[in-house]
Chain A
Amino acid sequence: MSTSAADLLSPYDDRAPSGDPVLEVSSVAVRFGGVNALTDVNLTAAHGEITGLIGPNGAGKTTLFNVITGLQEPTQGKVYIDGREISRLSPHKRARLGMARTFQRLEVFGSLTAYENVLAAAEFHRSWSEDDTPPRDVAREVIRRVGLGSVAQARVDALPTGLARLVELGRALATRPKLLLLDEVGSGLNHDETEALGELLVSLARDGISVLLVEHDMELVMAVCDLIHVLDFGRIICTGTPAQVQQDPHVQAAYLGADTDAAEATA
């Protein structure tokens, strides 16, 4: 064994932090008809860190993920990976620069088993990268890390949503990304499961994988994130450490405002 198990999951090229952010989003705007889904969004995700992206429902988090991964063309603005502009690249070319994502609305390969989902992704990676680690080794390691061993042989469309999201996480990991974009991967998990997810994310970051995390579970976000961006009505209203974000009046207004609305609705 020349490569350790942990190495199989780590990014395939140099892991030394360069100081530059791995991801930079610059003045991105998206308009759907007359609706401004995103307005002048700027954010960064640093090497080997977990960056949070939070905000109320409909704030534009998934739209931003779609812009970053190339599924949604922005009305204006640019996206950079490792300082390289990728705004004009097709989704698969962006993925080949080392980013992978999960989807809020499940996009699993439903007619394949959990193991085959992960294996397929490892094979995709093998086909476009110079890395020649056998896909089966990568897939086995991913299955072990995520803990999918006992459902590896089950078709994914038969799995409960919480597990299917973890299959998507495993699938993304199998392409050995430097940047992992997770869109509510923890929804559908209970407290203990979320805690285990947090541990996994922290260990991935330690291995050099940068994570951009969209999540509603504040406990998880506050526990694992190094930096948090808060999105509200398509704008970044606050960027800071967990402590700073929790103190920020704009953030409190955004969340409390939502809470008062909810309170009124139930009253």
Chain B
Amino acid sequence: MSEFVSFTVVGLVTGCIYALIGTGLVVTYTTTGIFNFAHGAVGMFAAFAFWQLWQGWHVNAVVSLVLTLFVIAPAIGLVIERLLMRPLHGAPPDVLIVVALGLLLALVGAAQLIWDPNTFRRLPQFFNGSGFPLGAVRVSWHQVIAIVATAVAALLIALLFKRTRLGIAMRAAVDSPPLLAMAGGRPTLVQQSSWALSSSLAALAGILIAPIYQFNVILLTLLVVDGYAAAIIGRLRSLPIAIGGAIGIGLGQNYIIEFASGSGGFLSRIYNILPMVVLFVALIVLPQDRLRTASFSGAVPPRVASLRSSLVAGVVLVGVVFVLSAHLSIANLKIGANVFAFALILLSLVLLTGYGGMVSGGQMAFVGLGATMMGHLGHGGSLVGVVAAVALSAAVGAAIALPTLKMRGLYLALATFAFATVMDQAVFQQILGTGGSIQVDRLRIPGIPTTSDRAFFVVTAVVFTLAAIGLLAVRRGPFGRRLVAVNDSPAACATLGVNVNWTKLIAFTASAGIAGLGGVLLGGVPQSASAIDFAALLSLVMLLIARVGGINTATGALFGALTYAVYQGYSPHLPHLLQNAYLLTGLAAISVGRDPNGFGGRVAQLAERLRPDRSASETPDVPTQATGPAAVFLEEEAGLVHVGS
């Protein structure tokens, strides 16, 4: 019984902290209409700032806390509002997603640069964990503070929203800032207040949760991200439901631990992943607020390369790789192979996100499945491993796609990211071991040397090239037109007889299969795979690199991968400030990631300018005679029509 009570207390505390996180998200969403994906990183960053003041510089605990909650955290919120969110008002939803994800990674990277992850740090509980007996259990002051702080914060926010002018203006602000301004409100002030407030809430949550669990940049960020489930349960609008859901998750987690103590390892693994499982299920089950959604593929995607030009480019690419392979060092050959492994992974995003408009925040899960399968079944580089890797990744992709087909934009990104987190924590860390690794052999084809570093470099280039040529051929054909059409207008497709869900399912499955093949290549470079290679945050890195490189072109995939893999290979030789991939990816996404076509789009544009006549779109031999309403239109209002060609 006393055990039950103590688990209840711990669960209540965890739940309260999730409630703070959820509350912060609801505050920004209800006032600005933005779901702040970077909320977790804000909480993490503020908790580290608090540590720096209190433990690093030995400032008094209360002073440190006040400074963090009421100066540093609001300042972070204000900077985010002023520099990132305000200029984005009215921007396409895909840009908002890219910027929020970029901010998340940039904050993680910046924290890692400031607070070296290899140094051990401890954030103590308040009053050093001391407490008092309550019946048969001991309750710490830290726990009391967590519960009281949550209750006070929830109460104050409820009062703010219901009773104050500012709060009412905050609720009005989301629908139309100009309208609020006309009614005498000050939308800018309102938005600033809400960003400052939600940052403080994230900070409080981070400070409270870090001493209970782990004080590590990435783990702490993910702990705060666990609290997103609460906001989704509250459908991003209802504070009471979000808080109730949060406490439910906290209690559930700790009751599982209690039961798990008798039943061995499996249940205790669920403990970690429960919030993300709840997030995933809540996204499926609860009808969510309609976020502004739009395709992720850019308003004006570049023209698709013709078969001829993609064949020529492919032959040139493989030729260059072949010649180059004779001159590269072993280290550079491995970097080169990594380029094509990552390029294949990004190509899976070109299909899914670039063409199909489905935003995946979990692609590394499929990559990890592929590598793990190759490691287990591909001994001696057997083809069975490759086939199994692709098949399993595709099958899991289909299983994840089925319940998420109706989701768009940010919700799909959240659901797939939740899936990647679950795979990371419950599968890869268990199968591969938290610090361990498994052997992944390179594919062996009888009669052809494929396993030396030089040969493997060429093999990866050939695999990527074939996949890219194939993908472009599909894009030019009926399925490609269908996928793009479904992305442009699902409603029109349905009324033209297209099974929209089936089309999306095929794209999702194929994309997961390609990512799985990417995993086979990626594991083959070092001939090993470990859980950190498929960490959940890397899925976001892949998405953003694909976006910066150009998410709707094969050129973009190759460019993104080239930059990433070469950077990764050489970053130990760079100055300290440039050594963090999360920071650079995040900054790149925030700055140039707004261009929906990325670098690949620029190249395609240039190519079009150089050879404008070589169009890959279908060319009909239609007489341009002047009958039919459109012909009359063109005759009478020719000035209105500007046709590029």
A: which residues have CB within 8 A of B? 69-71, 90-92, 94-96, 99-101, 103, 107-113, 115-117, 119-121, 123-125, 127-128, 135-136, 139-140, 143-155, 157-160, 162-163, 166-168, 170-172, 175, 189-190, 192-197, 200
Nearest first, the 4 closest Cβ-Cβ pairs linking A and B are A147-B628, A147-B631, A149-B624, A95-B497
Contact check: which of B482, B487, B624, B633 meets A163 at CB < 8 Å?
Answer: B633
Return chain A residues, CB-CB under 8 Å to B627.
Answer: 147, 196
Most B CB within 10 A of own CB, among A92, A119, A125, A143: A92
Query: Which residue on B lies nearest to A141, using beta carbons?
Result: B622
Once the chains are docked, how many angstroms separate the CA of A175 from the CA of B297?
27
In the complex with contacts A153-B619, A154-B644, A111-B297 CB distance below 8 A: yes
Let me know if B497 and A128 touch, CB within 8 A: yes
Most A CB within 10 A of own CB, among B300, B301, B482, B495: B495
Mask, B477-496, CB within 8 Å of A = 1, is 01001101101110111111
Let me know if A146 and B628 touch, CB within 8 A: yes
Main secondary structure of the interface of B (DSSP, over half): loop
Return chain A residues, CB-CB under 8 Å to B297.
Answer: 111
Once the chains are docked, how many angstroms separate the CA of A103 from the CA of B491?
9
Most B CB within 10 A of own CB, among A95, A103, A113, A120: A120
Return chain B residues, CB-CB under 8 Å to A128.
Answer: 497
Return chain A residues, CB-CB under 8 Å to B488.
Answer: 108-112
Interface residue total, chain B, C-beta cutoff 8 A: 49
In the complex with contacts A119-B618, A144-B623, A159-B641, A150-B494 CB distance below 8 A: no
Contact count A vs B, C-beta below 8 Å: 190
Let me know if B497 and A90 touch, CB within 8 A: no
Let me know if A196 and B629 touch, CB within 8 A: yes
Main secondary structure of the interface of A (DSSP, over half): helix
Contact check: which of A113, A124, A151 meets B630 at CB < 8 Å?
Answer: A151
Once the chains are docked, how many angstroms separate the CA of A123 from the CA of B634?
27
Q: Which of B498-543 contact A (CB under 8 A)?
A: 498-500
Let me know if A111 and B628 touch, CB within 8 A: no
Return chain A residues, CB-CB under 8 Å to B634.
Answer: 147, 150-151, 163
Let me know if B618 and A116 touch, CB within 8 A: yes
In the complex with contacts A95-B495, A160-B640, A200-B629, A153-B615 CB distance below 8 A: yes
Let me know if A148 and B617 touch, CB within 8 A: no
Return chain B residues, CB-CB under 8 Å to A109.
Answer: 481, 484-485, 488-489, 492
Is B289 an interface residue, CB under 8 A from the partner?
A: no
In the complex with contacts A163-B633, A171-B492, A92-B497 CB distance below 8 A: yes
What are 20 A-to-B residue pairs whose CB atoms are below 8 Å?
Answer: A70-B495, A91-B491, A92-B500, A94-B495, A100-B495, A112-B481, A112-B484, A124-B482, A139-B620, A140-B621, A144-B623, A147-B631, A151-B630, A151-B641, A162-B637, A163-B634, A189-B633, A193-B629, A195-B632, A196-B627
A125 to nearest B CB, angstroms?
7
Query: Which residue on B lies nearest to A139, using beta carbons?
Result: B620
In the complex with contacts A108-B489, A147-B634, A190-B636, A157-B300 CB distance below 8 A: yes
Contact check: which of B484, B487, B629, B645 meets A154 at CB < 8 Å?
Answer: B645
Once the chains are docked, how many angstroms separate the CA of A147 from the CA of B624?
7
Is B316 an interface residue, CB under 8 A from the partner?
A: no
B339 to nearest A CB, angstroms?
29
Return chain A residues, CB-CB under 8 Å to B578.
Answer: none
Once the chains are docked, how many angstroms separate the CA of A119 from the CA of B621?
13
B: which residues have CB within 8 A of A? 297, 299-301, 478, 481-482, 484-485, 487-489, 491-500, 615, 617-634, 636-637, 640-645
Return chain B residues, CB-CB under 8 Å to A166.
Answer: 629-630, 633
Contact check: which of A101, A149, A189, A200 meets B495 at CB < 8 Å?
Answer: A101
Once the chains are docked, how many angstroms separate the CA of A113 from the CA of B644?
11
Query: Which residue on B lies nearest to A115, using beta carbons?
Result: B620
Query: Which residue on B lies nearest to A186, using beta carbons?
Result: B629
B598 to nearest A CB, angstroms?
16
In the complex with contacts A152-B622, A163-B633, A193-B636, A123-B492 CB distance below 8 A: no
B360 to nearest A CB, angstroms?
20
B222 to nearest A CB, angstroms?
36
Contact check: which of B495, B619, B623, B630 meets A69 at CB < 8 Å?
Answer: B495
Query: Which residue on B lies nearest to A96, using beta carbons?
Result: B497
A159 to nearest B CB, angstroms?
7
Return chain A residues, CB-CB under 8 Å to B478.
Answer: 120, 123, 127, 135
Return chain B residues, CB-CB under 8 Å to A127.
Answer: 478
Let me know if A147 and B626 touch, CB within 8 A: yes
Return chain A residues, CB-CB under 8 Å to B496.
Answer: 92, 95, 100, 121, 124-125, 171-172, 175
Let me know if A91 and B494 touch, CB within 8 A: yes
Once the chains are docked, how many angstroms separate the CA of A171 from the CA of B497?
12
A82 to nearest B CB, angstroms?
16
Most A CB within 10 A of own CB, among B498, B619, B624, B625: B498
Return chain B residues, CB-CB under 8 Å to A193.
Answer: 629, 632-633, 636
B601 to nearest A CB, angstroms?
12
Let me know if A120 and B481 touch, CB within 8 A: yes
Once the chains are docked, how many angstroms separate the CA of A168 from the CA of B174?
34
Once the chains are docked, how many angstroms separate the CA of A107 from the CA of B494?
11
Once the chains are docked, how many angstroms separate the CA of A223 from the CA of B117?
78
Known interface pairs A108-B488, A111-B300; 4 further A-B residue pairs with C-beta atoms within 8 A, sorted by A's residue number: A140-B621, A144-B623, A152-B622, A190-B637
B500 to nearest A CB, angstroms?
7
Once the chains are docked, how many angstroms separate the CA of A143 from the CA of B630?
9
Contact check: which of A90, A189, A197 meets B494 at CB < 8 Å?
Answer: A90
Let me know if A149 and B300 touch, CB within 8 A: no
Let me know if A189 and B623 touch, CB within 8 A: no
In the complex with contacts A92-B500, A128-B497, A123-B481 CB distance below 8 A: yes
